[in-house]
Structure 1
Amino acid sequence: MVGKVAGPKDPCKMVQAIFFWLGIGTLLPWNMFITVNAYWNHKFRNITHESNGTTQSEETEDLTALWPGYLAVASMVPNVTFLILNGVFGHRFKTQPRLLASLILVIILFIFTSVMVQIDTDEWQSSFLYLTLASVVIININSAIFQGGILGVAGKFPPAYMGAVFSGQALGGIFASGTNVVVLALGATPTQAAFFCFVLSVLFLGTALVAYMVATRSEFYKHYLGEGDQLEKHDDHKLLETSPDHKPTIPVKVNPLSVLAQIWPYGLAVLLTFLVTLGCFPAITVRVQSTESEGLWATKFFIPVSCFLLFNVGDYLGRFLAGLIQWPKPGRVGAILTLTFSLLRICFIPLFVICNASPGARTLTPVLLESDTAYIVIMLLFSLTNGYLGSICMMGAPQVVLSEESQTAASLMVALLGIGLGSGAFLSNFFVKLL
Structure 2
Amino acid sequence: MIFKAAVGLANEGFGGDPERVGWLVAIIFFILGIGTLLPWNFFMTASMYFNERLSTAEGSNTSEWSNGTVTPRKDYYFNNWMTLLSQLPLLLFTFLNSFLYQRISEKVRIAGSLVFILICFLFTAILVKIPMDQDRFFYVTMATIWFINSFGAVLQGSLFGLVGLLPQKYSSVFMSGQGLAGTFAALAMIFAIASKADKEAAALGYFITPCVGTIITLLSYMLLPRLDFARYYLKKDKSSCYEVETANQLLDRGKMSSEGRADDVQVIWVMAFCVTFVFTVTLSVFPAVTVDVKTAYGKKWEPYFISVCCFLIFNVMDWIGRSVTSFVCWPPKESRVFPALVVSRVIFIPLLMMCNVQERSNFPVLFHNDAAFAALMIVFSVSSGYCVCLSMSYAPQFVEPKDGETAGALMTFFLALGLSLGAALSFPLRAVV
Q: Normalising by structure 1, report the TM-score.
A: 0.80
* Number of aligned residue pairs: 391
Any idea what the Cα deviations from partners look like across 1:108-142, whole Å, max 9, x if unmatched? 11000001112222xx1111111111111111111
Match of 2:287 in 1: 282
Q: 1:269 to 1:102 in 2, by over 3 A?
A: closer
**SS of the residue aligned with 2:313?**
helix
* Separation of aligned partners in 1, 2:224 and 2:418: 33
Name which one, 1 or 2, has greater alpha-carbon Rg: 1
Does residue 119 of the first structure (1) align with residue 130 of the second (2)? yes
Match of 1:110 in 2: 121
Q: 1:383 to 1:188 in 2, by over 3 A?
A: farther
**SS of the residue aligned with 2:267?**
helix
Does residue 169 of the first structure (1) align with residue 174 of the second (2)? no
* Separation of aligned partners in 2, 1:12 and 1:391: 20
Match of 2:67 in 1: none
* Separation of aligned partners in 1, 2:286 and 2:420: 13
- What code does the residue aligned with 1:267 have? A
Deviation at 1:168, TM superposition (A): 1.6
Q: 1:316 to 1:117 in 2, by over 3 A?
A: same
* Separation of aligned partners in 1, 2:352 and 2:377: 9
Match of 1:133 in 2: 142
Match of 2:305 in 1: 302
Deviates more, 1:13-22 or 1:313-322: 13-22
Which residues of structure 2 form unaligned runs of 5+?
Answer: 1-14, 60-71, 241-245, 254-263
- Give the alignment partner of residue 204 of structure 1, picking from 182, 202, 213: 213
Q: 1:180 to 1:188 in 2, by over 3 A?
A: farther
CA contact 1:260–1:412 (8 Å) conserved in 2:
no
Deviation at 1:76, TM superposition (A): 0.9
Any idea what the Cα deviations from partners look like across 1:9-41, whole Å, max 9, x if unmatched? 876954443332222111100010011222112
* Separation of aligned partners in 1, 2:364 and 2:24: 54
Which residues of structure 1 form unaligned runs of 5+?
Answer: 50-58, 234-250
Match of 2:47 in 1: 37
* Separation of aligned partners in 1, 2:237 and 2:351: 51
- What code does the residue aligned with 2:267 have? Q
Match of 1:24 in 2: 34
* Separation of aligned partners in 2, 1:72 and 1:302: 21
Task: Kindly report the root-mean-square deviation, in angstroms, between the aligned alpha carbons of the 2 structures.
Answer: 3.2
- What code does the residue aligned with 1:283 have? A
Deviates more, 1:312-321 or 1:146-155: 146-155
Deviation at 1:424, TM superposition (A): 0.2
CA contact 1:86–1:148 (8 Å) conserved in 2:
yes
Q: 1:217 to 1:414 in 2, by over 3 A?
A: closer
**SS of the residue aligned with 1:325?**
coil
Does residue 268 of the first structure (1) align with residue 273 of the second (2)? yes
List aligned pairs for 1:33-432, cutoff 5 A. Answer: 33-45=43-55, 47=57, 61-63=74-76, 66-121=77-132, 124-188=133-197, 191-218=200-227, 221=230, 254=249, 256-258=251-253, 262-295=267-300, 297-298=301-302, 300-331=303-334, 334-335=335-336, 337-358=337-358, 361-399=359-397, 401=398, 403=400, 407=404, 411-432=409-430
* Separation of aligned partners in 2, 1:13 and 1:402: 25
CA contact 2:55–2:73 (8 Å) conserved in 1:
no
CA contact 1:25–1:205 (8 Å) conserved in 2:
yes
- What code does the residue aligned with 1:62 have? D
Q: Normalising by structure 2, report the TM-score.
A: 0.80
* Separation of aligned partners in 1, 2:152 and 2:371: 36
**SS of the residue aligned with 2:325?**
helix
